[in-house]
Structures are given as C-alpha cells and as structure tokens.
Structure 1
Amino acid sequence: MDFKDQLKNLFPEHKESAEPVVEKSSIWLQEEPIICKYEKRKGKPITILEGYTGATEDFKMLAKEIKTKLSVGGSFKEDKIIIQGDYRDKIMTMLKEKGFNVKRVGG
C-alpha cells in the first residue's frame, strides 16, 4: 500500500486535482548583479556579497540558507552578507541556480 492509497483510506471523499499544486519560492528581482568579492580580514579569508536591492528580510533569509548549505559561519551587516572562508565559486553557483545575476570581484 503506497502513500496515495493510505490517503484515499483516510479521506475517501477527496477528489484528486488534475494539476499538482507547486508552491513557488519567493523570486527576488534584481537589476544590478550581486557583487561576490574576496577579502582577508586579520589574515583570515572571507567572502562578501553586496549589491542586493530587494527587501532586507529576503537577503537575511538568503544569508541563512547559504550558511546552512555550506556549513560555515557568517553574518549579515549593513546590507552585506559576510561568509567565513573563500566560497565564491560555490556561492556563485547557488545564486545562479536561483536566478540571480552574480559578478565576481577580487582575484
């Protein structure tokens, strides 16, 4: 017995819709590219993302998602995402998959 059969047993009067409902994640509209740059502070490498023009809360959610996927530390300060370590390539790939235009700066 698969999952659909179990649901039919629980909800016999429910009729299956023709199209599955797919929730669309929030889309950020970005005119200028997000700047992805590399710096060293106190001898340690960091990756900085700046240039986002949308809502601050969306950028904070993006910062949390990047930190979680890469399993690294970081912060969100003054409309910039600061990630500990040099992860420019991975971050740029993630942002391009989400539909952002990203520009690499510094090295």
Structure 2
Amino acid sequence: MAAKDKVPTDGGGALGQNPFAALSSAGLAPANPARLVAGAAGPGPGSASPAATKSAEPAKNRGRVDIKRETGGRGGKTVTVVSGFVGIGLPEKEQLAKKMRAACGCGGTVKDGQIEIQGDQRETVARILSEAGFRPVFAGG
C-alpha cells in the first residue's frame, strides 16, 4: 500500500462541515451555576418555592383507571389488570407496576398499555393508584 492511500490518524484534518457551527446561544438565558448545584442536591428546608413543591407531589386528579380481575385465557389463574391510563408513558407505567409488585409481593408486567399483576390484588393496587393521583374504579368481576 502506498503512502498516499493511507488515511491520516493524527487528527489534523477537518471534518468538512460542522452541523453545530450555525447554532448560537442568542436568546437563551445564561446558565446559573448556583441554581444548577442547588437543584441537583434538592431543595433545602425553607428554600422550596411553591412551584417546586407543587411539581414534587402528584396531581390530584390524573384521570380514571379501571381495575379488573381476569381469569380468561390464563389457565384459570387470576390476574389483576389496570387499564385506561391517559397521558402517561411507558416508563411511568413500569414504575407504577414495580411499586405494585413490591407492595403485593407478586409478579406482574406492563403489556399492551395495561398493567397486569398476578393474583387478586385489587385493593392494594387501588391504594397505590390513589396515592399516585389516579381515580381507581373497580370494573367487572
């Protein structure tokens, strides 16, 4: 291989066009390092603003969710199914399912946008959903 065919590895060559060259920070608020450090450590006593306190607690009414007990298609096993979530994504559903599994001491999963918990755990699931700001409704059997 000739010397002209080799690719230089010294880092001296430019990439050509930098896609970030046209970006600027014009119109953005300057970063406040003191605020960033305080936010990472959490608010101290007496320093919490009303907006920070409001966002820390869950909303009072996040919508109705249905809690059903199902046995069909599961080999006779009972499963508690929570459905009807509006406005929350998969990560929050997985976090709720994790809390429910820990509180009930059983298995469960998030499948097709619904939370499935093994066994008849409707009361425990309703308590956890109420604490999260949802309005649980027992539906079906």
TM over 0.5: yes
* Corresponding residue of 1:38: 69
Give the percent of matched residue pairs that are identical in Structure 1 and Structure 2.
28
Give structure 1 stretches of 5+ with no counterpart.
Answer: 1-16
Alignment of 1:43-62 (within 5 A): 43-53=76-86, 54-62=88-96
Cα deviations by residue, 1:7-34 (Å, 9 ceiling, x for unpaired): xxxxxxxxxx651657825559633x11
User: Relative contact order (C-alpha < 8 Å, sep 6+): which is higher?
Assistant: 1
Q: Which runs of 4+ in 1 moved over 6 A?
A: none
Cα deviations by residue, 1:42-89 (Å, 9 ceiling, x for unpaired): 111100001111122111111111111211001111101111000001
Higher strand share: 1
For the pair shown, the structure with the greater C-alpha radius of gyration is 2
Equivalents in 2 of 1:79, 1:25: separation in Å? 24
Count of residues in correspondence between the two structures: 90
TM-score with structure 2 setting the length:
0.55
Give structure 2 stretches of 5+ with no counterpart.
Answer: 1-43
